[in-house]
Amino acid sequence: MLTRKQIELLKLIQTRMDRDGVAPSFDEMKDALDLRSKSGIHRLITALEERGFIRRLAHRARAIEVLKLPDVLTKSGFEARVIDGGAAPKAPKPKIGLPVEASALSVPVMGRIAAGTPIEAISERVSDIAVPGSMLKSNSTHYALEVQGDSMIDLGINDGDIVVIREQTSADNGDIVVALVDGHEATLKRFRRQNGMIALEAANPAYETRLLRDDQVEVQGRLVGLIRSY
């Protein structure tokens, strides 16, 4: 299920692609959706990509490929399929990107993860959080972590967000992973293999990419969802 803003953005991208052959810029998206900053667009784009509706093409400006459209875009109006998080437009929204669904499952929150300078790994259960079943893969173990830092902000991952992680020990290039560095430092970064090394890339120009030997990095999970509280 997509939120109203996600559907509006997907419709905008598809319309502009059909008309101009290129996706709108982030500034155009921000203005069209009446958002105050481009970080909101980053979050929407990331959510659409994670749900398989779009794909961003590497090394090409404004290169977005629409992979599929929800049924709601072939009908008139959004009401039948959109869960907006609140009944009235100005009502407080306790969670963003978290539709209310009967299949919500409890996932353990295992402390904090650094999106910045790596911090000591934390592996102690501190609480639990309800996560939509559609965000989770069956027959897999999942856990959640609170983000600390701003190194992934350009991908819409902000300080204080809760990231949902699927436990796994391998990663593909471009995956956002929980990486354990030198056996004790945990960080959330984009994973790439580069010239025989492993690159842990930030999504903030203020942070440099870290190049590490294969034996220095242990993948502990892959990002599958994000929860934000207001």
At 122-160, the pLDDT tens digits run: 556 778 888 887 778 878 889 888 888 889 998 888 888
Single out the residue of 103, 111, 161 nearest to residue 137, CA to CA.
103
What is the dihedral angle through the alpha carbons of 50, 55, 56, 59, rounded to the nearest 10 degrees? Answer: 130
Fold held by 4-85: Arc Repressor Mutant, subunit A (1.10.10)
pLDDT score recorded for residue 171 = 94
Which segments of the chain belong to CATH 1.10.10.10? 4-85
Which segments of the chain belong to CATH 2.10.109.10? 105-229
pLDDT score recorded for residue 96 = 39
Tokens of 56: 């961003």
Between 4-20 and 38-50, two packed helices, what is the crossing angle to 10 degrees?
Answer: 90
CB burial of residue 80 (10 Å; 0-12, 13-18, 19+): exposed
- Of the spans 50-64, 86-100, 154-168, which averages the highest pLDDT? 154-168
pLDDT score recorded for residue 18 = 78
Residues 10-20 have pLDDT tens digits of 888 888 877 77
Query: Which residue numbers are catalytic?
Result: 151, 189
Predicted structure pTM score: 0.54
pLDDT score recorded for residue 58 = 61
The CATH number of domain 105-229 is 3.30.2320.80: no
> Euclidean distance between the first and final Cα of the chain, in Å?
21
DSSP letters spanning 67-86: ----GGGGSS-STTT---SS
CB count within 10 Å of CB 126 equals: 13
